[in-house]
Amino acid sequence: MLLKPTALAIALTSASLLLAGCEPALPVKDSTSSPQWFASGQQAANNAAPQANTSKAKNIILVVGDGMGITTHTAARIYSGQQQGLLGEEFSLSFETLPYSALIKTYNTDQQTPDSAGTMTALVTGHKTKAGILSVSDQAQRSDCASGQQHKLATLFDLAEQQGKTTGIVTTARLTHATPAALYAHSVERNWESDNKLSAAAKADNCRDIAQQLIDQNNSDQALEVVFGGGKRHFLPEQEGGKRQDQQNLLTSWQQQNPQQQVLTNLQQLQQADLTSGRWLGLFSSSHLPYIDQRDTSTPGLLDMTKAALTRLKHNNGKGYALMIEAGRIDHGHHAGSGYKALNETQELHQTVQWLLNNIDLKDTLLVVTADHSHTLTLAGYATRGNPMLGVVKGNDDQGRPKTSAKQLDDGGYYTSINYRNGPGAVDWQQGDRTSVDPERAQQADYLQQALVPLESETHGGEDVALYAAGPWAHLFGGTMEQHWVYHVMHHALTSDNAGSEDRD
């Protein structure tokens, strides 16, 4: 008997096509039966052991969904599938199709629930450290400039530059924000993005702000070829609309250092630039790049910047490249209590990784997709299959058939599938019963999901995050891993000369 393709079979087929560099056909709405689910399980078991690649990695791409916890994965998977006319649950995000995965523990050395500075430092230096500290060891004290002077940590990009590789950063956040900054800056305070935030003691100890460190670094042998994101205000003096108090225009200084160094400020310049050589600093917004639904035609998206960055990095004299891509505004959407924003930003990351899978060679490129930490997003409520991810919950009847009307609670009101443990959408319990969710309002872009604990900004979560990988030595990822181990797998992939070789660096 011939069986129709099932959801899992579709996902497996999509994965194999993506890894082969082909674009999979979109699946149709799921209508599987029990025998089909069983057959798809058999197929998954038969294809569950990909062959390990023990070649030395020529290229490495680290993709970070900032704040992209596992609940965000699940909700974005369903949401993205529903945008394509599917029920949603059967869909797979592009990075979820990668053959190797692991759970990653995210705590900082001083915090159970981490921040991005400490977590990104772990990912790119191989050292855990305190919250708020960028690529400086745990021996330093936060905001104490002198304590960090002798404890700077080498990064993944330092290794790549030593190997003669081209290096680049792409982010939808400010380039001086914690996640991208960990790759080029060493700071005991993540908030020292420009000199206006430096303490008097820090200035006395000759500590450099993060924007200044980027300019200094790019005037050295370890210069980045591509740096694309937001945060222009931290490179400009106050009289030019920036934040700097030292009267410096760092963009002018950077361009004057070398005629091969160019500054880009909008999408049109990015598209017209000859990216076959030179060093490129793209600052496309005063602060973070706008959310997807708020961008105008002059602002590039994550995929636009990734395509441009890879064009430059591939012109590398054959020695390879290292690229970090951050979907930084997933995190900000969650902090704002907006599931809509967080899921749309995650969907953009999914689309960017899908493009990567169609345009890189996993034979010599290690691709790692992970998050730095989680958030307090929850997905619950016994919604029926295919329930709109941003909508109110519709359940099933006693026979398991979907109901046509939304589920009402004992208080007579409705509720959504996704909510937050804390944040600006918190219910005011002092006013009595919970406010019912308006089914029409819940799916609007500016709606904030209900939360339990009232906070101005929703917080990070402390649970493990997921990691997905493919390419050389990706098979070393598995089980539950400490976050700083991720660096050591990437280091091993870049330095191992042959199968079974030991890390000699």
Q: 273: which DSSP letter?
A: S
Number of separate domains in the chain: 2
**Neighbouring C-alpha atoms within 13 Å toward the C-beta of 404:** 0
Supply the pLDDT for residue 257. 81
Q: Are residues 170 and 211 in the same domain?
A: yes
The answer as to whether 179 is a domain residue is yes
The answer as to whether 264 is a domain residue is yes
The answer as to whether 490 is a domain residue is yes
The answer as to whether 23 is a domain residue is no
Q: Are residues 265 and 414 in the same domain?
A: no
Could you tell me which of 395, 391, 386, 384 has the C-alpha nearest to residue 419? 391
Report how far residue 373's alpha carbon sits from residue 331's, in angstroms, rounded to the nearest whole number.
9
The answer as to whether 118 is a domain residue is yes
Q: Are residues 410 and 305 in the same domain?
A: no
Helix axes 34-46, 7-19, angle to 10 degrees: 30
Q: Are residues 277 and 152 in the same domain?
A: yes
Supply the pLDDT for residue 498. 59
Report how far residue 482's alpha carbon sits from residue 139's, in angstroms, rounded to the nearest whole number.
19
Report how far residue 206's alpha carbon sits from residue 234's, in angstroms, rounded to the nearest whole number.
18
Q: Are residues 167 and 77 in the same domain?
A: yes
Supply the pLDDT for residue 214. 95
Tell me phi and psi for residue 103, to 5 degrees. Answer: -95, 140
Measured CA to CA in angstroms, residue 1 lies from 4, 34, 45 at distances of 10, 14, 20
Q: Are residues 487 and 429 in the same domain?
A: no
Q: Do 329 and 338 contact (CB within 8 A), yes or no?
A: no
Name beta bridge partners: 368: 62, 469
Report how far residue 424's alpha carbon sits from residue 456's, in angstroms, rounded to the nearest whole number.
5
What CATH number is given to the structural domain containing 206? 3.40.720.10
Supply the pLDDT for residue 284. 98
The answer as to whether 297 is a domain residue is yes
The residue segments making up the domain with residue 444 are 388-458
**Within 10 Å of residue 386's Cβ, how many Cβ atoms?**
18
Q: Do 346 and 76 contact (CB within 8 A), yes or no?
A: yes
Q: Are residues 426 and 484 in the same domain?
A: no
Q: Do 294 and 324 contact (CB within 8 A), yes or no?
A: no
Q: Which helix (H) or strand (E) holds 340?
A: helix 339-359
Please give the order of strands across the beta sheet that includes 451-454.
Answer: 377-379, 418-423, 451-454
**Neighbouring C-alpha atoms within 13 Å toward the C-beta of 18:** 25
Name beta bridge partners: 375: 460
Q: Which helix (H) or strand (E) holds 5?
A: none
Q: Are residues 332 and 370 in the same domain?
A: yes
Q: In the structure encoding, which two tokens stand for residue 324, read together?
A: 């970090």
Q: Are residues 352 and 434 in the same domain?
A: no
In this structure, the chain runs to a length of: 505
Q: Are residues 194 and 279 in the same domain?
A: yes
pLDDT along the chain (505 residues), means of 10: 35 40 45 78 78 96 98 98 95 96 98 98 98 98 95 97 96 98 98 96 95 86 91 98 96 88 97 95 98 97 98 91 98 98 98 98 98 98 96 96 92 93 86 82 96 96 98 97 98 80 36
Cα of 250 vs its chain's centroid, Å: 27
Q: In the structure encoding, which two tokens stand for residue 318, read together?
A: 């054959």
The answer as to whether 128 is a domain residue is yes
The answer as to whether 5 is a domain residue is no
- The set of catalytic residues is 116
Q: 432: which DSSP letter?
A: S
